Amino acid sequence: MSRKLVRRTWTTDIQADEVQIRAHYQRLGKEIVRFTAQLEIWLSNKWQPVVRYDNAHGFCHRDTIHSDGSQDKSPVSFGDNNETFTAAIADLKENWEAHVKRFRRESRQ
Amino acid sequence: MIDPHEFAQKQLELTAEFGKYVFDHPEMDSRLPDGAYVYFQVRGEREFNAYSRALAQKRQAAGRPAVLVHIQGLAKPQRSRLLKPRIAFPGRPGIRRSKSRAAVRRRMRSVTSGAAK
C-alpha cells in the first residue's frame, strides 16, 4: 500500500445547528498516525471547540477548551487508537451537555 | 419526531462505530471526501432516519459534501473476551483438593473467617 499521508476530516451533527462532532485522522500506509475527536458548538457565528481528544504530542490526551482560548490538558490512556477513540466518544456521550453548558457559561462571563 | 436527546445519543454511538470502522478500513479513505458531512441511515429506525436526512439536506444546501452511511444494525456490545475461564483456589503444590461442594464450602468459610492464609 502507498505510504503517502492521507488526511481526512468529517463532521456530524449532535444537536441541529448548535453542536457537532469534528473527527480528523491521518493515515500513513495502513496505520492511523494521528486522530482527533472534537466537540464543537455554534457560538458567535462560528464553530468553536469545547473539548478535544487527540494523540498529538506523542500521547493521547484530552483538551478542555475554555472560552478565553486557554486549554487544560490531561493525559488519557485507553489502549490503541480504536480504543481511545471509542472511549473519547463514550465520554462525550456521557458529558457533552455538561461541556456545552460549561463553555456557554464561561462565554457569558 | 425523534427526541433530540435520543438523536444525540444515537449519533454519538454511530460516530464512534463509524470512526473505528474507518480506522480499520484504509479503503474508506477513497470513499470519504475531506470535509464531508457524514450522516447515517439505520435499518428500521424511521424517526432517526428522517431527522438525520433532514439535517444532511440542510448541510448540503449550504454547500457541504455529504456522505451517507447505510447501516443494517449494530452488533451487541462486546462483553468479556475470556474463553472458557476456569476459577481455581491456589493452594500448596501436590495437595489435591476435594472438589466436593461441602469441601469447597469449608474452604470458603475458612478464607472468609480469616483462619486461612
Tell me which of B10, B12, B32 to substitute to probe the interface with A (most A C-beta atoms closer than 10 Å): B12
The Cα of A102 is separated from the nearest Cα of chain B by a number of Å equal to 18
- Answer whether residue A1 shows pLDDT above 70: no
Q: How far apart are CA B69 and CA B14, in angstroms?
A: 10
Please name the member of B13, B16, B32 whose beta carbon is closest to the beta carbon of A8. Answer: B32
Mean pLDDT of B33-58: 94
Model's pTM, two decimal places?
Answer: 0.79
Mean pLDDT of B79-101: 72
Determine if residue B77 is left, alpha or beta; phi over 0 gives left, psi from -120 to 50 gives alpha, anything else beta. Answer: beta
pLDDT for the residue numbered B116: 47
Chain B residues inside the 8 Å CB shell of A11: 36-38
Please provide residue B79's backbone torsions phi and psi, each rounded to the nearest 5 degrees: -100, -150
Q: How far apart are CA A12 and CA B66, in angstroms?
A: 10
Tell me which of B1, B21, B23 to substitute to probe the interface with A (most A C-beta atoms closer than 10 Å): B23
Question: How much is the ipTM here?
Answer: 0.88
Q: Give per-residue pLDDT as tens, B46-85.
A: 999 999 999 999 999 988 899 999 999 888 777 777 878 8
Q: Give per-residue pLDDT as tens, A57-105.
A: 777 889 999 999 999 998 887 777 778 888 888 888 889 999 999 999 9
Instruction: Report how many Cβ contacts below 8 Å link chain A to chain B.
Output: 78
- All residues at 6 or more sequence positions from A1 whose CB lies less than 8 Å from its CB, including other chains: A29, A30, B26
